[in-house]
Structure 1
Amino acid sequence: MSKQKVIVLAVTVQGLSVSETARRYGVSRQWVHELLDRHRAGGLPAVEPRSRRPKSNPRATGAGIAERILGLRNELTAAGLDAGPVTIAWHLERENLRAPSTSTIRRILHAAGLITPEPKKRPKASLHRFEAHQPNETWQSDFTHWALADGTDTEILNFLDDHSRYLLACTAYRPVTVSAVVATFLSCAAEYGLPASTLTDNGMVYTTRLAGGKGGRNAFEHQLHALGITQKNGSPNHPQTRGKIERFHQTLKRWLTGQPRAHTLQDLNEQLGKFRHIYNHERPHRALDRSTPADAYTATPKAAPAVARQGDHWRQRIDRVDRFGKLTLRHAGRLHHIGIGRVHAGKHVLMLIHDTDVTISDTATGEIIRELTIDPTRDYQPRQRKTPRSEDRGVFVNDDSTHP
């Protein structure tokens, strides 16, 4: 029995006075009179403790906001995008709505049965996360597999800025080759400037250092070396080194799962272009304090290679060696012919041009076929070797059987 009922019964049944009852039970006379008034109006049940909750709360989440929170949850989930409380709050602010705290959003989602309990995760304190201090300080790159509607396998090549998580490139190939990596890298560099370093795994499209020392650098390694860009490779079988882009692949595939399955490579690349815009400009990132990658990428001055000169003229092009073993290249308005050798006739090659320096590699294998510096005074650029004659050291002798 509650104390309030005992007080009322002491007066109404035992016959104690209001003053005696107040003294005996340590309450005020006004409180005893209030309890008696409640008893007269509604009997003993009316004297039970009442809720102190206010009848209204001006800061309570309105029904309209709660409904929009649930709507955003469903819309984002259906689109394959993140739909947690932080992301929902960001979208509410973008719609000029007053966003409640993330804990309030979480309670609304939980009450609607939209929160799926997750197993206990590894504590964040146990992780040692590396993050570049500036945009373009490190570009991470990797590719992942995705099937078309008919089951055809494709490979999606991505370049991601480590500092801002800005998605520099997201392109599907069948399959990813050294040439595709170089072409995509140069396209990114032409638009965003040269990075100070790159971070990739040890796949053959990125490095040949684990290939037993055969063949030297591939075209991607050579290009980075020529531009003074530091190349970093993760330890074999240790994907945590490239954790950002590995986690990014989960985000990408979750979004693709929410879209109609592409039928062609072109269809898939159109979807990837749409995703890239959403990821960079319309999706807040938890690691960026709810900023978008585009905002983070432009907020800080960009890093650059230590020795390379930004703004140098460099380009890439894919060509085919003619039947005489030669290529043509226009430099400073003049056409030059480059000797490659008849053994390479008919091959498709990738030409990396940095001012007058040219590197030519096989598009199929990434093998460097020839490196040269264009002589602007000569039409034909022959293959040359030093003749090891003691009486004429340093003399260059033409060793190109393709040129008369």
Structure 2
Amino acid sequence: MFMVATRTARKWAQRYRTDGAAGMTDRSSRPHSSPTRTPEHLMRAIVRLRWRHRLGPVQIAGRLGLPASTVHAVLVRCGINRLSRIDRVTGEPLRRYEHDHPGSLIHVDVTKFGNIPDGGGHRFVGRSQGLRNRETTAKRTGRRNHRYEPRPGTSYLHTVIDDHSRVAYIEIHTDEKATTAIGVLRRAVTWFADHNVTVERVLSDNGAAYKSHAWRDTCTQLGITPKRTRPYRPQTNGKIERFHRTLADGWAYARHYTSNTDRHTALPTWLHFYNHHRPHSALGGQPPITRLTNLPGHHT
């Protein structure tokens, strides 16, 4: 009547007689024992080689005398089948974190971009024309080094990222001194406050500006807890490091700028696009601004 095998009908009938309606739920098909499963000590050896030496399944299989398919199955089971999930420095699985509401933690850092000479840089106009443009710009500005070579200079971008929403705030300056960094922090806190976000903590690297007493005192005045990353561990501040790469690809080197002023003028437009329109892979394809859900003031 139900187009199933007699054995199947007998199985379900027996379950109903034994357990009643509760016996009609599906059960796991996993066996009670797996005598041929890879032993625990071999699994540990596979994971150890993966973490410490970043070897692939074939190389690990060769060292341990196992089939590569077995090694791959163990790596998948342990969640380390992709090297992108393993920290390059420690060899351990990446530990990702995210604070639960906007303003709980902001990341601050400084990234540098060489100034663009008049007419464009070598990335777009070629090495020869780029050198000529640098020379023309040096004649106009008079900026040269001790060997009388053109010195276009550097733009320092002070960047601030909210850990939960990934909303970004950026200012362009000519240095990365403590006074400048403190001014950026004050204005960033005000900017976030205008978006109904109260900053509670700030995470920075161990740069001189962020280790200064002035930075500490300013954080105290603003009611913010300052935190710093472990030395030589930029991964701790990885969200803002990844944002710098997005900034370089999407704005700094995205098109041919004919001057440094031209590139600086394009920054606010790109930043608005990033915050309000650009899909973010860590946010389920939504732009960062959609995570600023503090309009009722729940987190203030």
**Which bracket does the TM-score occupy, shorter chain normalised?**
0.5 to 0.7
Contact 1:143 1:158 in 2 (8 A): yes
Rg comparison, structure with higher value: 1
Q: Pick one of 66, 70, 84 that aligns with 1:122.
A: 84
> Which residue matches 1:160?
161
In 2, Cα distance between the equivalents of 1:262 and 1:183? 30
Displacement of 1:245 in angstroms is: 0.3
> Which residue matches 1:173?
173
In 2, Cα distance between the equivalents of 1:295 and 1:182? 28
Alignment-mate amino acid for residue 149 of structure 1: I
> Which residue matches 1:362?
none
Q: Encode CA deviations 1:99-128: one digit per residue, 9 max, x unaligned.
A: xxxxxxxxxxxxxxxxxxxxx642379221
The structure with the greater share of residues assigned to helix is: 2
Displacement of 1:295 in angstroms is: 0.6
Alignment-mate amino acid for residue 242 of structure 1: N
> Which residue matches 1:206?
210
Displacement of 1:302 in angstroms is: 6.1
Does residue 272 of the first structure (1) align with residue 267 of the second (2)? yes
- Unaligned regions of 5+ residues in structure 2, if any? 1-81, 87-91, 118-151
> Which residue matches 2:107?
140
Secondary structure in 1 aligned to 2:112? strand
Q: Encode CA deviations 1:346-374: one digit per residue, 9 max, x unaligned.
A: xxxxxxxxxxxxxxxxxxxxxxxxxxxxx
- Unaligned regions of 5+ residues in structure 1, if any? 1-119, 209-216, 305-404
Displacement of 1:258 in angstroms is: 1.2
Alignment-mate amino acid for residue 160 of structure 1: I
In 2, Cα distance between the equivalents of 1:203 and 1:287? 27
> Which residue matches 2:182?
182
In 2, Cα distance between the equivalents of 1:262 and 1:152? 16
* Number of positions where the alignment pairs a residue of Structure 1 with one of Structure 2: 174
> Which residue matches 1:290?
285
CA root-mean-square deviation: 2.1
> Which residue matches 2:253?
257
Contact 1:196 1:303 in 2 (8 A): no
Alignment-mate amino acid for residue 85 of structure 2: P
1:3-402 counterparts in 2 under 5 A? 121-123=83-85, 126-150=93-117, 151-167=152-168, 169-193=169-193, 194-208=198-212, 217-218=213-214, 220-255=215-250, 256-261=252-257, 263-264=259-260, 266-298=261-293, 303-304=299-300
In 1, Cα distance between the equivalents of 2:171 and 2:94? 31
- Cα 1:302–1:143 change in 2 (3 A) is farther
The structure with the greater share of residues assigned to strand is: 1
TM-score normalised by the chain length of structure 1? 0.40
Displacement of 1:195 in angstroms is: 0.6
- Cα 1:147–1:139 change in 2 (3 A) is same
- Cα 1:262–1:121 change in 2 (3 A) is farther
Q: Encode CA deviations 1:49-77: one digit per residue, 9 max, x unaligned.
A: xxxxxxxxxxxxxxxxxxxxxxxxxxxxx
In 2, Cα distance between the equivalents of 1:238 and 1:302? 33
Contact 1:148 1:262 in 2 (8 A): no
Alignment-mate amino acid for residue 258 of structure 1: A
- Same amino acid, percent of matched pairs: 27
Alignment-mate amino acid for residue 191 of structure 2: E
In 1, Cα distance between the equivalents of 2:258 and 2:186? 27
Using the TM superposition, name which of 190-199 and 293-302 deviates more. 293-302
In 2, Cα distance between the equivalents of 1:269 and 1:170? 11
> Which residue matches 1:342?
none
In 2, Cα distance between the equivalents of 1:137 and 1:302? 12
Secondary structure in 2 aligned to 1:126? coil
Q: Encode CA deviations 1:2-53: one digit per residue, 9 max, x unaligned.
A: xxxxxxxxxxxxxxxxxxxxxxxxxxxxxxxxxxxxxxxxxxxxxxxxxxxx
TM-score normalised by the chain length of structure 2? 0.54
In 1, Cα distance between the equivalents of 2:262 and 2:225? 35
Using the TM superposition, name which of 155-164 and 295-304 deviates more. 295-304
In 1, Cα distance between the equivalents of 2:294 and 2:95? 25
Displacement of 1:262 in angstroms is: 5.9
